[in-house]
Amino acid sequence: MDASRPVKRNAERAGMLYGIAAYGLWGMFPLYWKRLAAVPALQILAHRVAWAFILTAILSIALGRCKDVVALLRQPGRLAATFAAGLLVTVNWGIYIWAVNSGRIIETSLGYYLNPLVSVALGALVLREKLDRGIIVSCAIAAVGIGILAASYGRLPWVALSLAVTFALYGLIKKMVSLDALVGLAMETAPVFPLALAYLLFEQAAGRGSFGNVGETETVLLALAGAVTAIPLFFYAEGVKRIPLSKMGFLQYISPTGQLLLGVLVFGETLSGIKAVAFACILAALVVFAITRRKVSSAR
């Protein structure tokens, strides 16, 4: 018997637990941001950026990761890509926070259900990855769902589409730049941090700042926004080291499913009629996608 098998099994088990923890936390995010509904969305976003940068910068120094930062600063191409990733994830966070506090949690879950399919399309267009029949069929079914949803809204579901596209582009850049979660988040938030801090200081000076003025609980939650952002990213990074990306991809659906359930069961959003049909199309596309990925993996 291969002595390395138990070690490999333990590593995969740990990886699955890390992945479940990461996506489980992301799936519960609406509970956190809804608790801050009294705070303007732009202030929540600025606090999230500012505290995330402060936390990851301190940890990077404490854990001796400064050499990784210096190495990145000496590579202008990777540095520019990292800054672009930071802008994309900031836009993604902003849209998500605004949508959650505007009663559009179901639409945010749709965005993260669509995310894997957008990532596949980007892989084909940018990285020249091959598209097989399963991917083409799943994307076509998802497109039907989006069309139905657009008809039901009388407009494109821009929240869902923008969340899916910005996070897929963020993931593409992360894959190309290849930074770990800690240094990556520190450097991604670095260019936005001065703007976030300046905005927060301006709002506080003008008497519109929420920090310390909207209640002790809300103030603590704002201060913890950096940790809330960083912890699931760390779990994700540890999980993806231990299990194949295909398995991590399946775990990804924990997050939008959690958001969908919260939207319907906790926050009273409705999913009926034509919207339910549209969601059924998206879920059908994901089933086709998952089944065909499994067959492709088995063929290899």
Q: Does 148 fall in a domain?
A: yes
Containing structural domain, residue 180? 12-299
Q: Does 155 fall in a domain?
A: yes
Q: Does 98 fall in a domain?
A: yes
Note the pLDDT tens digit of each residue in 55-97.
999 999 998 888 888 988 899 998 999 899 899 989 999 999 9
Helices (H), the chain: 4-27, 29-34, 41-62, 66-73, 76-100, 105-126, 133-153, 158-177, 181-189, 193-205, 216-223, 225-242, 245-251, 254-261, 274-299
Q: Does 136 fall in a domain?
A: yes
Q: Does 207 fall in a domain?
A: yes
Note the pLDDT tens digit of each residue in 216-270.
999 999 999 999 988 988 888 788 777 765 566 667 778 888 888 888 888 888 7
| Number of folded domains that form the chain | 1
Q: Does 58 fall in a domain?
A: yes
Q: Does 6 fall in a domain?
A: no
Instruction: Give me the amino acid identity at 197.
Output: L
Question: Would you give the DSSP letter of residue 214?
Answer: S
Q: Does 81 fall in a domain?
A: yes
Provide the pLDDT for residue 83.
92
Bigger pLDDT: 127 vs 182: 182
Provide the pLDDT for residue 129.
66
